[in-house]
Structure 1
Amino acid sequence: MSKNVKQGSADREPATATVRTGSGGIGRAIRLLDLVVSEGPLRFAELLELSAIPKGTLHRLLNELADERLIQFDERSHTWSAAYRILEMANRIWTRSDIRVLAQDQLMALKALSGETVQIAILADTHVVVIDHVESTRSVRHSITVGSRMPVYCTGTGKVLLAWCDDEQQRDIISRISFSRFTPNTITDKTALLKELSTVSQRGFAIDAEERFLGSHCIAAPVVDSTGRAIAGLSITAPAFRISEEELISWGPELIAAAAEISRRLAPRTGETNGASH
């Protein structure tokens, strides 16, 4: 979870200082990529000021990084941000990451409880990306793969990741969402989403009521870091014909407890956790 687990400035300064000593193209490109990933979205003028890279060189490096799908330009906001290839590369690391190892038995326990597909996902700008899952063995089931990418506004994990992030980040993400209606139940505007996030925050879990796929609904809870901000969303997804929304909600206490246990296990890496209070 290196993107979401914030390290102290003391931990970052040596690496930054090392990069800045290099005047070569690779050093500048790495420094620029790190800046976009850690501070983005950023406008060109902001990048020019923060990077201290000459204007012409900055233009060239931005275009080269965009050609490699490492960063992307948003035409609406005129800002640069990390692109999906960063997540593709990070996903290879997830196979050895702490959170997958520490969460595995909790995913298995929730699957045993529900008999349904259980997954854990992280925030990826205006989307979520699945980093691990345990699939139901039933003939009709929700099937998903590691690396699957879905919008934040119409998924249970997306909602908890939005509800448990800081206000500035939440506003920024929501301002850049391009809403689409996938089903009659999909939230398609900012006002409705903010109202839903308030409800999610108050009750401690989120429901995807057939908002992404008709016939499939889920319940999700946040895995949080030492500041109480979500670093992952843990969810159970089931076919609506087999599991009613009431039964889905009945799994809430066990789901919240499992997410809290994963948060507790991550505490030595992120600091003592405050739980999922918000």
Structure 2
Amino acid sequence: MPAPRSSSAAPASSASSANQVAGTASFSKFMHVLQLVADAQEPVNVAALMRASGYPRPTVHRIVAALIAERLLVEHPHSATLGLGPRLIQLASRSWGRSELRLAAVDELKRLRDLTGETVHLAVPNDTTMVYIEKLESPSAVRMASRIGTSVSLHATAVGKAYMAALDDGALEALVKRLPMPRYTPNTTVDAAALRAEVRKTRERGWSVDNEENEAGIFCFGAVIRGVGGVPVAAISVSTLVFRQKEDPAQAYVAPLLEACRVISERIAQTPSLSGSDVL
């Protein structure tokens, strides 16, 4: 490691800034590797992380060793593959249990699930995705594959399109320009112009749809939760199987969904700790 520069070589503030940038870069690498393990569909090893991250082997080894030491990752002894560690799961559990937004919304989410008889999700924006922070399963025997903590695309989900429709034009355009739009099903919108048109429709009617765009056989209705000043802070979806969708979806799903969002938005506005745009 190079020796620190003397004060005569660079001002103290400049050296401090350089150290902060270097520390941030290292932290970002650690988080990137951790995210790769979390998002992997199958257990991964160091070689797989090297390919996915583009980092050299010594860097990946160093990061993995540090994450294991902090119990953020665990290494399975027989396969040498990696999984999320108990400390990370503990932190995530505490974050979820203490989420003020989730606690403010959970009663209405239960009421919405009971009224519709369908699966209900609560999601918050995270850069170019939405993250589920609550899921209440339908009482039906059929279960959806989603889970709390799952990141889902903005362009292919009802929660994502509801959130985008609540943004002002400038923020929406900036987001669309950098939005990845992979195709998940034949119905997925992968064209920016088509997505803008869908967002306009969502604004006009006040709620969004996911017509088998994220998962085949699943139809979702979405609406936004707003904070103070109308800032979008979260979204709710009601998800049903296409074959059992009720004849009058506007009454069966959309009306109770909009009412739930209205009540939760009012509750947020009346709660000082939830009065900003960051309500987690």
The reply to whether TM is greater than 0.5 is yes
**What is residue 239 of structure 1 aligned with on the other side?**
241
1:248 maps to what in 2?
249
Q: Which moved more, 1:255-264 or 1:158-167?
A: 158-167
Alignment of 1:46-85 (within 5 A): 56-69=18-31
Counterpart in the other structure of 1:262? 264
SS at structure 2 position matched to 1:69: helix
Displacement after TM superposition at 1:230 (Å): 1.3
5 Å-filtered alignment, 1:55-204, equals: 56-69=18-31, 92-204=94-206
Aligned length: 209
Give the drift of 1:92: 4.1
When Rg is computed on C-alpha atoms for both structures, the one with the higher figure is 2
Distance in 2 of aligned mates of 1:137 and 1:232:
24
> What TM-score results when the alignment is normalised by the length of structure 2?
0.67
In 1, distance between residues paired with 2:137 and 2:92? 22
Q: In 1, distance between residues paired with 2:93 and 2:128?
A: 17
- Per the TM alignment, residue 213 of structure 1 is displaced from its structure 2 partner at its CA by 0.6
Deviation at 1:90, TM superposition (A): 6.8
TM-score, scaled relative to structure 1: 0.68
C-alpha offsets along residues 161-204 of structure 1, whole Å, 9 cap, x if unaligned? 11112333322221111211111111101111111111101111
- Please give the secondary structure, in 1, of the residue aligned with 2:220: strand
Q: Partners in 2 of 1:189 and 1:175 — Cα distance?
A: 11
Instruction: Name the CA distance, whole Å, in 2 between partners of 1:131 and 1:220.
Output: 15
Q: Secondary structure at the match of 1:233?
A: strand
**C-alpha RMSD over aligned residues:** 2.8
The aligned counterpart of 2:231 is 229
Say whether the 8 Å CA contact 1:161–1:232 is kept in structure 2.
yes
Q: Does the 8 Å CA contact 1:160/1:230 hold for their aligned counterparts?
A: no
Unpaired runs of 5+ in structure 1? 1-50, 73-86, 273-278
1:68 CA drift (Å): 1.8
For each residue in 1:48-74, what CA deviation from the matched residue of structure 2 results, as whole angstroms up to 9, or x when unmatched?
Answer: xxx9666743552232121221799xx
The verdict on how the C-alpha distance between 1:160 and 1:255 changes in structure 2, with shifts beyond 3 A counting, is same
> Which amino acid counterpart does residue 24 of structure 2 have in structure 1?
L
Structure 2 alignment gaps of length 5 or more? 1-12, 36-87
Shift in alpha-carbon separation, 1:147–1:192, aligned structure 2, 3 A: same
